[in-house]
Amino acid sequence: MLKTRGKRNIFGRILSLLSKEKSGEIDRELPFAVMMFTTLAASGVTLYESWKKMRVVHLLPKIQKDAEDVVRQVEVLGYDPLTVMEKKAEKTTSKLYRDFLAGFVSSVRSGGNVVSFLKSKLHSILEIQNAAATRSIEKLGALVETYAVMLIVILCTYILYVVMSSTSIFELRQTGSVASSAPEPFMYVLIFLIMPSISIVFMAVAHLARKSSFISLGSVYRKVIVPVVGASAFLMLVIFVPQVQFIMESFSLAAIVTLCLIVVSVPSALAYHRVAVVNFAAEESMPSFLRDVTEARKIGLSPEKSIIHASKRRGYGRFSGLLELVRSQIEWGVALKKIFTNIRRKLQSWPVLVHFFILVETIEIGGGSAKALEILAEYSEKNRDIEMNKRSMLKPYIVLAFIWSVLIAFTTTIVAVTISVLVQISVPGMAPSSFDVMQQQITLFSIGIIFQTWMSGFFVGKVSEGSFAAGFKYSAMLAATAYVSLILSQHFMAGLFTSGYT
């Protein structure tokens, strides 16, 4: 009976988490969906036609699915669109979506101004999203601080293990026993399984808390496959093949591991950088472009000429190249929907693509009225401000990552080297095998620190930019930082003890 209840509780929690995740996805898409409803209504498009248009918005998959269901129930089952929206308001798990649907139905039935209601609701949703973004930053900050505490616990675990291992070697020497010629298996489990698993758990939590604005980053992740295979093969050869082990006479194993991790990260880091530079520029410049289109439309230019006029402005940065392509295609008579398809192949920024899609639909369906374009430009600017504010407030946590990398490397190395020297002083006749074990432990801890900081780079990338792909550059830099810190701390301790002896 208790087992059955336990299974039901677990199942209920899983359903609750799935429900919250689905609600979060709808809330993320809702501002853009309401923006499209608003611009279409301002262009004179009816409610039902707006739902039909939503069926082709692949960038908003949750809303698109609901739109298909609305059209199916209206055309196949014969229900009224308002009745269908009422039913959806009752069933949805998203409070924002429920309020929007119920308010929309009430506004239409009361004969109110639908455009005015939609503008008011859009403003309200964006204000709620802004407050939610602020709260999410606080949650991410708490998550990063918790992760830093976890790294401190790892640091304490490393230090404790070093002390216990050195003490056991000392006791073995005192009793006349012979120390093992290799570190204990638990040490490998601790460094290469337990600690990385904890980091993976934190990365999973960060993935739920922070969503990326980029889509279709598969090409970035695929670039890591060949380097991973090559670096793994090279590392295995160096460690296990005697004919290649001469490399470790010139370079330490920690240096080789660091080099392999950097080689793994660099190709994907460069690929992501090329994507990020263009797309971040597009996210920053798109609202200004929409504002220029709107102002040009207000003076009487046609929608197409307004786009051409706005695209000639300087100051869009890397986004200007894409706008030049748009302008040339319009001048050659290419349809706007075809132009949008071409842009989608070149951009991965979800907000930019949604805004451009709404612009195209507003022009294609409603003639691109100045009123509709004004709504689009105004709320595109607000959405940009929210995202840029979130990104800027999360940047300080990048510095924190480098601080904890240096701290872990310095502290662990200093303690390990100090204890190693003290044991040698306390036991002058210590067997070479015991000394080798201590050196192997220091090397293993160094590799573990480098690997741990490399993994933390993906956590930092997810928190700061919303994508694990951003973590490749941070991983390479953090691994290099940890290695340099290890070398400096070892040289510092060697110089300190040398000067102490002299």
Distance CA 190, CA 145 (A): 22
d(CA 473, CA 401): 13
Structure tokens belonging to residue 460: 């930092």
How crowded is the C-beta side of 232, counted as CA atoms within 13 Å? 6
| Contact indicator for 403, 148 with CB cutoff of 8 Å | no
Please report the pLDDT score of residue 502 as a whole number: 47
- Residues, the chain, total? 502
Six token digits for residue 470? 């951003």
What is the Cα–Cα distance from 96 to 74, expressed in whole angstroms?
A: 24
Token pair, residue 197, equals 């698993």
**pLDDT of res. 495:** 61
**Could you tell me if 92 and 98 are in contact, meaning their C-beta atoms sit under 8 angstroms apart?**
yes
pLDDT digits (tens, 9 = 90+) for 203-226: 999 888 888 888 888 889 999 999
The predicted structure's pLDDT at residue 421: 66
Report which of residues 501 and 303 the model is more confident about.
303
Residue range 449-475: mean pLDDT, rounded: 90
State the CATH architecture for 280-385: Up-down Bundle (1.20)
Residue 17 pLDDT > 50, yes or no? Answer: no
DSSP SS3 for 102: helix
Q: Give the separation between CA 214 and CA 322, rounded to whole angstroms.
A: 17
DSSP category for residue 470:
G
Chain segment 266-316, per-residue pLDDT in tens: 999 999 999 999 899 898 888 889 899 888 888 888 888 888 888 888 778
> Which pLDDT belongs to residue 446?
83
The pLDDT of residue 423 is 61
State mean pLDDT over 43-72: 86
User: How far are the Cα atoms of 213, 219, 220, 223, 229 from residue 268, in angstroms, in the given order?
Assistant: 18, 9, 5, 5, 14
- pLDDT tens figures, 116-162: 888 888 888 878 877 777 788 888 888 888 888 887 787 777 777 76
- How far from chain centre, in Å, is Cα 115? 36
Q: Which long-range contacts (CB under 8 A, 24 or more apart) does 298-302 make?
A: 298/370, 302/368
- Cα(466)–Cα(471) distance, rounded to whole angstroms? 9
Lowest mean pLDDT among 1-15, 74-88, 144-158, 391-405: 1-15
Looking at the predicted structure, is the pLDDT value of residue 198 above 90? no
pLDDT at residue 181 in the model: 46
Tokens of 89: 């308001």
In the chain, the N- to C-terminal Cα span, in Å, equals 74
Mean pLDDT of the chain: 80
Predicted confidence at residue 472, as pLDDT, reads 94
Q: pTM score, two decimals?
A: 0.82
Which residue is it, tokens 């039902």?
Answer: 48
CA atoms within 13 A on the CB side of 61: 6
Q: Select the more confidently predicted residue: 108 or 175.
A: 108
Give the DSSP H/E element, type plus range, for residue 268.
helix 253-298
Closest CA to 231 of 425, 476, 420: 476
- Per the CB < 8 A criterion, the answer to whether 452 and 196 are in contact is yes
pLDDT in tens, 396-405: 888 888 888 8
Token pair 């998550």 in the structure block, residue: 143
Kindly list the domain boundaries of the chain, sorted by start residue.
2-112, 140-209+395-501, 280-385
Other CB atoms closer than 10 Å to residue 435's CB: what's the count? 16
**Residue 415: per-residue pLDDT:** 73
Q: What is the spatial distance between Cα 335 and Cα 8, in angstroms, rounded to a whole number? A: 55
The one-letter amino acid at 356: F
Report the phi/psi class of residue 344: left, alpha or beta, with left for phi > 0 and alpha for psi in -120 to 50. alpha
CA 453/CA 431 separation, integer angstroms: 34
SS3 466: coil
List Cα–Cα distances, 293 to 305, 370, 390, in angstroms.
Answer: 9, 9, 27
* CB-based contact 284:388 (threshold 8 Å): yes
CA distance 194 to 209: 23
168 versus 27: which is more confidently predicted?
A: 27
